[in-house]
Amino acid sequence: PTHSSQHGASYAAEKEAEGGRKKEFSALQSILSSFAGPQSKQQTIVLLNNQTTTRANMAAIISQAIPETVDGVEMPKSKRPSDSAFKQQRLPAWQPVLTAGTVLPAFFLIGVLFIPIGALLLISSNSINEFVYDYTHCKPNMGNQSCAEVISASPGTSCSCVIHFELEKDFHDKVYLYYGLTNYYQNHRRYVKSRDDDQLLGRLSPVPSSDCAPFAYADDEERIPIAPCGAIANSLFSDKFDLRSETLGQDVPLLQTEIAWPSDRQIKFRNPDGDLKEALRGFQRPKAWTRDLWQLDEVNKDNNGFQNEDLIVWMRTAALPTFRKLHRRIDHSQDQFKDGLMKGNYTLTVEYSYSVIEFEGTKKFILSTTSILGGKNPFLGFAYIVVGSVCLLLGCVLLIIHLKCSKTNGGISSVHQRSSSRP
């Protein structure tokens, strides 16, 4: 009986091994059917059906049966990353352990550094003299309507208004004239991309960029291209300012150059070779412009075309709907203005041509000095002070919590590892 039972167990084991072998053969046959040719596949199946074939022989059979190429096309390589420290993410890394001893000093250090820095930034910003005047609804000398209403009712007409104001402080050092706009979304996606950079580099083409539409052609039927094309150039700020000192009895000299970034003037904007007017023959000015591209600066002929600095400043779009852009510099080479603008009465004459009331916007005239950090901007100083104060407050709160609620290891060390409450 014992011999028969052993014989039955051996027979069952052989059957199980044979079943596993058949599964392996069927899997290998399915693999070979997709790679090997008919004759090679038939020979391989005969070898696999041989009961004396070992697993080592199977690997050799498969390597011979599967070709390196299929119909002359190389087999795709494996997409498995190489076994390197970088690709397998085994590079050494430093992970800081956030404890009270590391976090609390960091909070106090940030607070001690940020508050004085914020105070210095705030003092620097407050030292800048600035005069801001909203002239959106200024009125001409004749009539009851404002210039904004006149321009809105009859686009293309001219309107001039005179503004009298007083500077209560001396504006020392260099003084700059800005214009400011509100509720003007230059950051709109379609507005930002509505330009042709090839045109702005002086490479004129009769087919402007598709991004300029619908400001690419002056006439859709005749297909006359616009230069510069796009919504940004079409909406160029066009108001003009004349400033006069009533105290000195003379005009304040304003410079139109060196108001754009040097990188923009020298790299991003170029004029085509040769005479600008001849190069632009066959092109039309933007629909909203009243002057041609070569007539933007009637005083300085070198400040025309795509390198006109008013155009360059406007083409650098603002990130926020309320912004200001540099418009003119005070010429401090004259003796009366070498120290800046002195306090007194001034007259501003505005040639009003840019309408903003359609989108409920406003326009501002700004006179400002600068510091080593730029124009007036108290936000940065307040931000540093607030962040520093919050860090100091959090440091104090966490320090109190740490001193009162932290646990020591003295009681734990006195307990034996094998101690137990059970007898």
pLDDT at residue 141, rounded to an integer: 84
**Residue 123 confidence (pLDDT):** 92
Give residue 16's pLDDT. Answer: 67
Helix, strand, coil abundance in the chain, percent, nearest 5: 40, 15, 45
pLDDT score for 8? 57
What pLDDT sits at residue 239?
A: 94
Helix (H, G, I), strand (E, B) or coil at 374: strand
Question: Do 243 and 252 meet the contact criterion of CB atoms below 8 Å apart?
Answer: yes
pLDDT per residue rounded down to tens, the chain (423 residues): 444 455 555 666 666 666 666 666 665 556 555 544 555 555 555 555 554 555 556 556 555 555 555 555 555 677 888 889 898 888 888 888 888 888 999 999 999 999 999 999 999 999 899 999 999 999 998 878 899 999 988 887 889 999 999 999 999 889 999 999 999 999 999 999 999 999 999 999 999 999 998 999 988 777 899 999 999 999 999 999 999 999 999 999 999 999 999 999 989 999 999 899 999 998 999 999 989 999 999 889 889 999 999 999 999 999 999 999 999 999 999 888 998 999 999 999 999 999 999 999 999 999 999 988 888 889 999 999 999 999 999 999 999 999 988 765 444 445 444 444 444
Q: 162 forms bridges with which residues in the sheet?
A: 349
On whether the CB atoms of residues 163 and 347 are closer than 8 A, the answer is: yes
Cβ-proximal residues to 345 (8 Å cutoff; 6+ apart), any chain: 164, 165, 166, 245, 246, 247
Tens of pLDDT, residue by residue over 89-132, are 888 888 888 888 889 999 999 999 999 999 999 999 998 999 99
Looking at residue 187, its pLDDT comes to 94
Is the separation of the CB atoms in 197 and 264 below 8 Å? Answer: no
pLDDT at position 200: 95
Count other C-beta atoms under 10 Å from residue 325's C-beta. Answer: 18
* pLDDT at res. 421: 45
132: its two tokens: 């801001």
Tally of CB atoms within 10 A around 242: 14
- Determine if the pTM surpasses 0.75: no
List the domain boundaries for the chain: 99-128+375-403, 132-370
Per-residue pLDDT reduced to its tens digit, 194-253 = 999 999 999 999 999 999 989 999 887 778 999 999 999 999 999 999 999 999 999 999
